[in-house]
Amino acid sequence: MAIVNNISNSSAPLSNTENTALKRLLSSDKCKDYLKSLSLITGFHLSVYNEKGGLLLTVTENPICKFSETAQSSTANCPGSCEERILEPLKLDRPLICKCRSKVMSFSMPISYLRENAVVVGRNGFACYEDFLEFLKTAKNKDLQEIPITAPLNFVDENYVASISQYIHNVINYMLSNLQEKQKITEKLGRFTSLVDTNILEKLSRDPNSIYRYIIDTIEFILGPTSVAMLALDNRTSTYKAVSASGKHKNAILGLEFSSKSSVIKQIGQTRSPVFRIDLEAEKLIQPGSAGKTRILNLFPVYVGDKMEGLIGVLD
């Protein structure tokens, strides 16, 4: 980590018109709620900028920053002095800690999603009492009365900002990594229908086991070496049961069963979408240790018309 002081008087206008994958992700309510919770937990006001410096999302606005911008102080040069530093982490490929001219402590860190680069900026408060007094002096000179400060004051030094930024860096990158893996698997399985030969399926239609084997072989061809299970609906018990499996851990996943009343199946039925990252051991769906360290299942529905006739389970 490094701490820098903003000294530039230049300001780049923010513009963002491209409808990119990252922008679509950030516009989702789920992502906004996630980042808002992260902001509330850490006390840092979070914003995300694209690799051109364009603002993609502000979760919560820092009241001190808003006050400084309203003051239009030539000394603080707000928000220009911050904007010119936004892309610094992308150039250095590491997080930075910054104290702006209004003496607000912040961090900025690079992130990547589906080959798009962006910067997450977190802004908090003052590092020490002296910085707070200097801020008050600027406010007094501008004759601004409604200063957005609440008691008691909590000061955040460089070490504290560094630890919080590392925490936020870890959780955001973990989230993005999971989303990217889901996207890759979904894209690969999207090729499934183009590779399945309907003529072969017709020839195999009298032998369900051959159909299951054909489907699994096709999935293995797409995904490479992995453990895959085909689950079919048992109408007598209203249960989806594993009827065929392959891969290193096929014995562990051959015993998989999902009741049609289970929360996982209900979720798939409501959304008609896959469910990712089911912890098989935590859900007590397999014996502990039977799949080694690979115990996370991604579940994809198979529909015939409007009815979900089966599931494809892929171990992650």
| Per-residue tens of pLDDT for the chain, all 316 residues | 333 333 333 333 334 456 688 888 888 888 888 899 999 889 898 999 988 888 888 888 887 777 777 665 545 556 666 766 778 888 888 888 888 877 888 899 999 888 888 999 998 888 788 888 887 877 777 665 666 666 567 788 888 898 998 899 888 988 888 788 777 766 666 555 555 555 554 554 566 777 777 777 777 777 777 888 888 888 899 889 888 888 888 887 888 888 888 888 888 888 888 888 787 766 666 655 555 555 678 888 887 777 888 888 888 7
Nearest-CA neighbor of 35 among 112, 129, 108, 122?
A: 122
| Angle formed at CA 100 by CA 98 and CA 105, multiple of 5 degrees | 55
Residues listed for the chain: 316
Domains and CATH numbers, the chain: 3-181 (no CATH), 191-315 (3.30.450.40)
Tokens 């018109």 label which residue? 17
Q: Whole-prediction pTM value?
A: 0.57
